[in-house]
Amino acid sequence: MSDTPPSDLVTVGIANRVATLTLNNAAKRNALSAALLDALVAGLKSLDTQEVRVVILRAAAGLPVWSAGHDIKELPRGHEDPLGYSDPLEKALRAIRELPVPVIAMVHGTVWGGAFDLVLSCDMIVADETASFAITPVNLGLPYNTTGLMHFIGRLPMNLIKEMFFTAAPLKAADAEHWHIVNHLVPSAELEGFTRTLAEGMTAKAPLAVAVIKEQLRVLSDYQPIAAQVFERIQDMRRQVYESADFQEGIAAFLEKRKAVFRGT
Amino acid sequence: MSDTPPSDLVTVGIANRVATLTLNNAAKRNALSAALLDALVAGLKSLDTQEVRVVILRAAAGLPVWSAGHDIKELPRGHEDPLGYSDPLEKALRAIRELPVPVIAMVHGTVWGGAFDLVLSCDMIVADETASFAITPVNLGLPYNTTGLMHFIGRLPMNLIKEMFFTAAPLKAADAEHWHIVNHLVPSAELEGFTRTLAEGMTAKAPLAVAVIKEQLRVLSDYQPIAAQVFERIQDMRRQVYESADFQEGIAAFLEKRKAVFRGT
Amino acid sequence: MSDTPPSDLVTVGIANRVATLTLNNAAKRNALSAALLDALVAGLKSLDTQEVRVVILRAAAGLPVWSAGHDIKELPRGHEDPLGYSDPLEKALRAIRELPVPVIAMVHGTVWGGAFDLVLSCDMIVADETASFAITPVNLGLPYNTTGLMHFIGRLPMNLIKEMFFTAAPLKAADAEHWHIVNHLVPSAELEGFTRTLAEGMTAKAPLAVAVIKEQLRVLSDYQPIAAQVFERIQDMRRQVYESADFQEGIAAFLEKRKAVFRGT
Amino acid sequence: MSDTPPSDLVTVGIANRVATLTLNNAAKRNALSAALLDALVAGLKSLDTQEVRVVILRAAAGLPVWSAGHDIKELPRGHEDPLGYSDPLEKALRAIRELPVPVIAMVHGTVWGGAFDLVLSCDMIVADETASFAITPVNLGLPYNTTGLMHFIGRLPMNLIKEMFFTAAPLKAADAEHWHIVNHLVPSAELEGFTRTLAEGMTAKAPLAVAVIKEQLRVLSDYQPIAAQVFERIQDMRRQVYESADFQEGIAAFLEKRKAVFRGT
Amino acid sequence: MSDTPPSDLVTVGIANRVATLTLNNAAKRNALSAALLDALVAGLKSLDTQEVRVVILRAAAGLPVWSAGHDIKELPRGHEDPLGYSDPLEKALRAIRELPVPVIAMVHGTVWGGAFDLVLSCDMIVADETASFAITPVNLGLPYNTTGLMHFIGRLPMNLIKEMFFTAAPLKAADAEHWHIVNHLVPSAELEGFTRTLAEGMTAKAPLAVAVIKEQLRVLSDYQPIAAQVFERIQDMRRQVYESADFQEGIAAFLEKRKAVFRGT
Amino acid sequence: MSDTPPSDLVTVGIANRVATLTLNNAAKRNALSAALLDALVAGLKSLDTQEVRVVILRAAAGLPVWSAGHDIKELPRGHEDPLGYSDPLEKALRAIRELPVPVIAMVHGTVWGGAFDLVLSCDMIVADETASFAITPVNLGLPYNTTGLMHFIGRLPMNLIKEMFFTAAPLKAADAEHWHIVNHLVPSAELEGFTRTLAEGMTAKAPLAVAVIKEQLRVLSDYQPIAAQVFERIQDMRRQVYESADFQEGIAAFLEKRKAVFRGT
Ligand code: NI
Ligand code: NI
Ligand code: NI
């Protein structure tokens, strides 16, 4: 398995004012390594948002896995918050959420863990019948971060959020449509065409109005206040989790490709 | 095209403790002019909410357009917030949201722009198969107001809100049912009967309990706090939009019935 | 009709790290009396959450009513808030919401009033085709409490919340699926098997991560701030409702099994 | 002791755009009875705030007591919140806080209990050396309301607030100056002249700017949000206090002019 | 009166890790023109905060006016918010508040209007006996902005804030000490020496800890949330003020050096 | 230097319904070690708050240091938040803040670092002329926690908070009186008598009212909400500080009794 050169991890193509960013690390199933996420952020920042009016985020054609999620090998193990504000995934999520143009996630194949957070942070999702979605921190013993959970709240019904987080089971395409995860479920053969048409339709709209509406919705979603006291208590609970033996076990089991045995300590 | 006399723009009928308010300006496709909105507010304020227990808001029978939305000719052009707190539409939305009895929007035909905000501000929506819904500020380059966006949040999933705002495309009746915009989708022939039955069922319920529950839900939705700092930044972004050349172009194109060409400035 | 002994009102069984709590007062249709709710809280507190990893909350097999809701005879009548912070139902809702393991409501039969708040406070709901759900304070003239309403917001779309609260009409199983009240709708014959499989799947997951994620979601839902000024105004409105003649009438009518006549005073 | 006629309880005089409202019930030491407070609100509402630019609130000349505070005989005793949102004092405090012109409390003599909340709700306080201030709910066993406490926070340092509330001891004029309760401490002989000069100086200022600044400061002080969950818990604690035996004892002792004996139940 | 060249409006000197920024436009009494404020921001941004550990902000030696406040000639007159988020003064206030090192305002002479907001936005104030402070929007009919008012709240007692805003009268040095506006009041002859010693003492402290503490205090002060609904209402009131005839009169009178006559319209 | 036995670190005496807790570890200058803080919490929890109505917190008689603050040797060095929610000092601060009776800090001698947070968390402070107060995290390079900073906000003016935090210099007794840190400054010889009299005066007040008022003030101070997004950013900044070389240097220098040299990295 040879490494993809950094410059090829995320490719950028532009046509008709629509930029397409393609996750392109088949060898690692598009795992969200620091290298790939930095490339994604660089790709987003390279766009001239006066010219580009819409972004499509996709995986390279033909991959059965859209993205495998966090690159587990890179997670800090104990003592340090594994989902810190400055970590590469968090930066990438903010880059998408703060981009002043709409971002459509075009999903063919399976979406795992942090990659689900990534597609939910896009403004819309178009998927085909091969798509599935899972959020897997309880497979690792990983305490999810509060702003990460806020990306799900208001976007999905609370009982679905809980089922997905507590079971870590993948949700199939049809169910993802029922639960409104996807804006549109279309046949595989039509996925690219449908997504392009949707995107190009938006390029004719007033870009300043689009940008300020997107920013207002972001602020209203992301800046819901909670008491500092409550936050520090939660942070303390999270620290106990990422310093637990179970978290070590979860990562070890993942890397050894065996089932983790959790003891609650 | 003759003008409808002010007193006829919104008619009020009461039967079995249900008041029906009818938007009645076919010539202007029920555009939300100051005159029509003032008549609507006057109609709502004329109700004796001890006697009237439910309100139905509808368009006059037979119209293919439920309402065309903002009366674009009346929008301020530049320098002034086009969606100010004291503007007629904002007053009408508050009048509905603060009315101490339930309001059902009965929708036959197409609902555009500010009229979508109006029906979403009703407590329930019953629609037939001719109904469609669109929210169109990006066709004009109009920066939507923050409380306006809050009417959508918590009521619709965030990815639908974004698709509707960023595409300005109408959502058809069946999709409106899938996305929970409408409480009930019923055949055209049954629309009035179904809506009346739903309304009359509520007239027997304890009105004080209904009123306080509606008010609590309003407060919990409308009074979500954000930092003043964030708000002033947003307000500044919005000002740049309504003072932009694009906003002038959007309104001009609309009035000249041509496609706007936006430059992002 | 003989009384169920306190110790039998809620039974607890544990197998494969899944605890099943069964509401077991057929004679009173599992009305949420102080005795039953105290037994429920005692049952929850008796669990060793190191050993038990998931809880199923169900009614005794064979009952057509999952729970009839508040025990109306026990409600304070006037002068006192009927839904106070320390009342038995509120304590039970908090016990479920604060339990550090997932709770699945398994629903066969009809769910009324406060019992709907109870199942919505569980993390997931699995139901069969006999299930229905109603929230009935407007039948009594009862002002619902603000935190109670917050249990619905974010969990269900606002227009459904309003229709259910303002009509007090039961929502059938298929509609409950459409509106995402239930996570899964399964045939009666498969209800227990399906629910057990779902529960047992979660027992293998990292319990500390599950616990902190559940707690974060609770905090983000339950601790949304509103201004004290607004709250005191609401509290005052609620007091006027529970001190109204209509509330007396609502309770009297219920106990006399007749239709209430509300006057709005 | 003869009763002051309602129309004379609060007198209103206007000169040079300054209105002077005088509490004028010497017989009852200006106790804040419903009658006096209603007269105060009526006096405030009678002002034409286009003409009147400043208000002075004072006690009738020569009284050693500025106001004795709540009229204890009128307080509800048990079962009902003694400081409800619609109670006369709360209405009067809001009338002052919401008045679009500055209100100066001119204080000669002692200020007790709710009257301290009243003068703190004025925009400025000018006092002479006879002035003193006390806040006395712990003498009665009265649970103060949350918005009432918010009137003190941000206005006085927290440690002074606590000492005053927990000791119920009067603070003398010089100490009131040290702790910034009063804007100006002036000799008795100069009190009226000084206050008039201060007031008249403000009448030349831009009244719309004054009004919106006062309203913004009110909103920033009064609308600080707290979680509904926290509020309901506090409300429940307060209910236990106003339903306690100690509250009965506190009121009884006051009326019998003896020292209360509190048991903490 | 000759214009100061832009490069000389604000001078920067650095010694012993303390940067001194000097407002240097004697001809215009250091009025806060866009040019001077841009120079101030540029000066702040030019600092290497690894090397510089403290900033002193002062007026050029010998001036009797520290700063005359807003350059009234530059204020927008009507239709536009005169205190917008992107206006030069707002940018300068944020530059000071967000600078990761302490800023001491060293005040000799009179401080007017927006310049008072500027010195309050510094972390500390050291002044001599010639210092005085006034906040003057009601002399102009100018509606102050909400974040501007928040700079005063928590920093000064509310009754002083109101007296200063409603009278626009200067507060003398000794009173400024009594009300805690200044950290230290020192004789003129010692002002520079005292301030330098205070500043140099801070250069030995841990700079990362200083920076994060300053940032936390800023966030806790500046990000207090209020409801969007409340904010939009306030913004609307403010618009009515800056579009009023009185605001035109206020500015005209100022420029004509006569007393304004306000009509409340 | 022999160790004080744990049971003697904090002694408890009760007389006339006033409990006196005495910090009693002269050998270590009452440093806030885990052992001493646990003893303090144990002492507070041992009180029967039905019987005890007021608490006095003091240092053993005759000590020149009231408390030296954090026991630096016990601080985690890097990788772990040195001021976590569950750390002994945080638990002690909450124990005092949540105690349902007033706590008076009686201060003779110098108060350092975390001990200043401790006395500010008491409801009142009475001090004599030997008292001084300093807050010293910038001597160590320690990032203070957000709830800790909130204990200062609302209690002290912001410019004093900044001067104390950024200089780490002790504030003398007379200045502490000027800035309202102390409720009363009394001569050494009268300190005990004055404090006892103040305390005993409160024992006659209605304890339930005292308790709920204290709790409301705590909630209004401690539960001010900020956005989770802002909090996570702050937490990330703080992590960078406690993982910095400067923090290692700060602690090392303290233990080696030499002056730290900070490099800002
Ligand atoms: Ni569906
Ligand atoms: Ni749905
Ligand atoms: Ni002072």
Tens digits of residue pLDDT in F243-256? 899 999 999 999 99
Q: Are C116 and C135 in contact (CB under 8 A)?
A: yes
| ipTM value for the complex | 0.93
pLDDT band at residue E1, thresholds of 50, 70 and 90? very low
Give residue A240's identity as a one-letter amino acid code: Q
pLDDT value at residue B3:
66
CATH topology of domain A6-203: 2-enoyl-CoA Hydratase; Chain A, domain 1 (3.90.226)
Q: Quick check: F257 pLDDT over 50? A: yes
Q: Quick check: A2 pLDDT over 60? A: no
In whole angstroms, how far apart are CA D137 and each of C219, C231, D143? 33, 22, 7
- Is the minimum CB–CB distance between D125 and chain E shorter than 8 Å? yes
- Is the minimum CB–CB distance between F156 and chain E shorter than 8 Å? no
pLDDT band at residue B190, thresholds of 50, 70 and 90? very high
Subunits with 3+ C-beta pairs closer than 8 A to E? A, B, C, D, F
Which of C90, C145, C151, C232 would best serve as a mutation to test chain D binding (most D beta carbons within 10 A)?
C232
Give residue-wise pLDDT tens across range C138-159.
Answer: 999 999 999 899 999 979 999 9
Q: Quick check: D236 pLDDT over 90? A: no
DSSP B14: E
Question: C143 vs chain D: nearest CA distance in angstroms?
Answer: 14
Assigned superfamily of D6-202: 2-enoyl-CoA Hydratase; Chain A, domain 1 (3.90.226.10)
Q: Are A227 and F221 in contact (CB under 8 A)?
A: no
Contacts of B137 in chain A (CB under 8 A): 206, 209, 213
Nearest to D163 by CA among F199, B229, B45, A186: F199
Please state, in angstroms and rounded to a whole number, the distance separating the CA atoms of residues E208 and F241: 6
Distance E218 CA to ligand 3 centre (A): 22
Question: Which B-chain residues 206-245 have CB contacts (< 8 A) with chain D?
Answer: 220, 225, 228
Backbone conformation region of residue B168, classed left if phi is above 0, alpha if psi is from -120 to 50, else beta: left
In this structure, of A113-117, D61-65, F65-69, F151-155, the range with the lowest mean pLDDT score is F151-155
| Active site members of E | 70, 114, 144
Please state, in angstroms and rounded to a whole number, the distance separating the CA atoms of residues A196 and B82: 33
Q: Distance from CA of residue E114 to its chain's centroid?
A: 5
Question: E215 vs chain A: nearest CA distance in angstroms?
Answer: 15
pLDDT band at residue D162, thresholds of 50, 70 and 90? very high
Q: Quick check: B119 pLDDT over 80? A: yes
Strand ranges of the sheet holding D184-185, from the earlier edge strand across to the other edge: D10-15, D18-23, D54-59, D103-107, D124-127, D184-185
pLDDT value at residue A179:
98
Question: B212 vs chain E: nearest CA distance in angstroms?
Answer: 19
Q: When comparing pLDDT for F224 and F103, which is higher?
A: F103
Q: Quick check: A1 pLDDT over 50? A: no
* Average pLDDT score, chain F: 93
In chain D, % of residues over pLDDT 90: 79
Q: Quick check: D206 pLDDT over 80? A: yes
| Active site members of C | 70, 114, 144
Please name the residues in contact with E223: beta carbons below 8 A apart, sequence gap of 6 or more.
B227, B229, B230, F226, F227, F230
Q: Does domain C1-187+207-265 have CATH number 3.40.50.150?
A: no
Q: Maximum distance among all alpha carbons in chain C?
A: 56
Question: C205 vs chain A: nearest CA distance in angstroms?
Answer: 5
Pick the residue from chain B with its C-alpha nearest to D226: B225
DSSP D180: T
DSSP D258: S
Residue with tokens 């985020």: A57
Q: Distance from CA of residue B99 to its chain's centroid?
A: 15
pLDDT band at residue F107, thresholds of 50, 70 and 90? very high
pLDDT value at residue E195:
98
C34: exposed, middle or buried (C-beta count within 10 Å: 0-12, 13-18, 19+)?
middle
Q: Quick check: E215 pLDDT over 90? A: yes
pLDDT band at residue C3, thresholds of 50, 70 and 90? low
Give the 3-state DSSP-derived string for chain E, with helices as H, strands as E and coil as C. CCCCCHHHHEEEEEECCEEEEEECCHHHCCCECHHHHHHHHHHHHHCCCCCCCEEEEEECCCCCEEECCECHHHCCCCCCCCCCCCCHHHHHHHHHHHCCCCEEEEECCEEECHHHHHHHHCCEEEECCCCEEECCHHHHCCCCCHHHHHHHECCECHHHHHHHHHHCCCEEHHHHHHCCCCCEECCHHHHHHHHHHHHHHHHCCCHHHHHHHHHHHHHHHHCCEEEHHHHHHHHHHHHHHHCCHHHHHHHHHHHCCCCCCCCCC
CA angle A57, A59, A61 (to 5 degrees): 125
Joined tokens for residue D102 = 């500055």
Element (H or E) spanning C88, and its range?
helix C88-98
Strand ranges of the sheet holding C171-172, from the earlier edge strand across to the other edge: C65-67, C110-112, C132-134, C171-172
Half-sphere exposure for D260 (CA within 13 Å, toward CB): 27
Distance B67 CA to ligand 1 centre (A): 27
Contacts of E227 in chain C (CB under 8 A): 227
In this structure, of C171-175, C236-240, D142-146, the range with the lowest mean pLDDT score is C236-240
Please state, in angstroms and rounded to a whole number, the distance separating the CA atoms of residues C192 and A206: 54
| Of F125, F210, F220, Cβ closest to residue D166 | F210
In whole angstroms, how far apart are CA D173 and each of D153, D181, E183, F194? 20, 9, 25, 21
Q: Quick check: C1 pLDDT over 70? A: no
Contacts of F137 in chain E (CB under 8 A): 206, 209, 213
Which of B53, B175, B208, B224 would best serve as a mutation to test chain C binding (most C beta carbons within 10 A)?
B208
Backbone conformation region of residue F104, classed left if phi is above 0, alpha if psi is from -120 to 50, else beta: beta
pLDDT value at residue C156:
96
Q: Quick check: E222 pLDDT over 90? A: no
DSSP percent split of chain B into helix, strand, coil, nearest 5: 50, 20, 35
* Average pLDDT score, chain D: 93
| Of A237, A247, A262, Cβ closest to residue C215 | A237
Please state, in angstroms and rounded to a whole number, the distance separating the CA atoms of residues B167 and B154: 20
Q: Quick check: F178 pLDDT over 60? A: yes
| Residue ranges of E strands in chain B | 10-15, 18-23, 54-59, 65-67, 103-107, 110-112, 124-127, 132-134, 171-172, 184-185, 225-227
| DSSP for B107-144, written as a single string | E-SEEETHHHHHHHHSSEEEE-TT-EEE--HHHHT---
pLDDT value at residue A3:
67
Q: Quick check: A111 pLDDT over 60? A: yes
Give residue-wise pLDDT tens across range E11-30.
Answer: 999 999 999 999 999 999 99
pLDDT band at residue F232, thresholds of 50, 70 and 90? confident
Element (H or E) spanning F22, and its range?
strand F18-23
Give residue-wise pLDDT tens across range C59-115.
Answer: 999 999 999 999 999 988 767 888 889 899 999 999 999 999 999 999 999 999 999
Contacts of F225 in chain B (CB under 8 A): 225
Give residue-wise pLDDT tens across range A169-226.
Answer: 999 999 999 999 999 999 999 999 999 999 999 999 999 999 999 999 998 888 778 7
Query: Which residues face F45 on adjacent strands?
Result: none
CATH topology of domain F6-188: 2-enoyl-CoA Hydratase; Chain A, domain 1 (3.90.226)
Please state, in angstroms and rounded to a whole number, the distance separating the CA atoms of residues E236 and B94: 15
Q: At what angle do helices B158-167 and A191-203 cross, to 10 degrees?
A: 60
pLDDT value at residue F5:
76
Please state, in angstroms and rounded to a whole number, the distance separating the CA atoms of residues A55 and A102: 6
* Average pLDDT score, chain A: 93
Q: Does the CA dihedral D205-D211-D214-D217 come out positive or negative?
A: negative
Q: What is the mean predicted confidence (pLDDT) over D247-259?
A: 92
CATH topology of domain B1-189+206-265: 2-enoyl-CoA Hydratase; Chain A, domain 1 (3.90.226)
pLDDT value at residue E236:
87
Q: In chain D, where are the structural domains located? A: 6-202
